[in-house]
Amino acid sequence: MEFFLDTADVNEVKELIDTGFVDGITTNPTLIARSGRQWKDVVKEMCAIVEGPVSVEVASLDYETMIQEARRLADINEKIAIKVPLTPAGLRVCKELSTDDIMVNVTLCFTPVQALLAAKAGATFVSPFVGRMDDIGHDGMDLIKDIRVIYENYAGLGANILAASIRHPLHVLQAAKAGADVATIPPSVLRQLYKHPLTDRGIDAFVKDWESTGQKI
């Protein structure tokens, strides 16, 4: 399973890149707005820091403008995956870009059949929003499971399941058990993945007992 960071905060990426667990980045218009910075500066700096895909979302909703935006984004860096919404125009753009070997991340996916459309449109990634499904009382992880079943049935469907809208470590665990290819994780949740009180307690005991030996390695 690959871990992407779900953020437009370059400082967070700089801080976490050395963990070795940052395989890519996903941004969206809300995250860019939250950064308070110019989108192009954020995107270029992200591409300079990470090896993996950097997802950047188009801003328009009509096909003609969306495809122009997508090509401008793609021209910035080959690491960029173009994020398009799961709409008829978005999937038309996806199909066109995929024939030019440009990575596409189809976002705002909330049903398995939407994910089937995205894969048939040649998506590199499909982003089912687990947390937002949970937020309205559904089990968002069922979405990941159903998409996995569908994609396994058809070898030709090459989209990667990118579990998105991750709210806590349990989502990461459940997405891994459900067979998601990627989880895009807020920086705060990535930091939580390390944590367990018994790990902390065990370290404290080992340090104390080692110090009592007076030895050095």
CB of 155 to ligand G3P, least distance (A): 28
Give the SS3 label for residue 12. helix
Which member of 29, 131, 179, 187 binds ligand G3P (CB under 6 A)?
131
Nearest to 206 by CA among 192, 191, 215: 215
Nearer of residues 122 and 140 to ligand G3P, judged by Cβ? 140
Interface with ligand G3P, residue 164, by CB under 6 A: yes
97 Cα distance to chain centroid: 19
Interface with ligand G3P, residue 129, by CB under 6 A: yes
Nearer of residues 28 and 114 to ligand G3P, judged by Cβ? 28
Nearer of residues 85 and 122 to ligand G3P, judged by Cβ? 85
Which member of 13, 28, 80, 144 binds ligand G3P (CB under 6 A)?
28
The CA distance from 23 to 7, in Å, is: 13
Residue ranges in the chain assigned as alpha helix (H): 10-16, 29-35, 39-49, 63-76, 88-99, 112-120, 130-135, 140-153, 169-178, 187-193, 197-213
Residues near ligand G3P (CB under 6 A): 6, 26, 28, 127, 129, 131-132, 164-165, 184
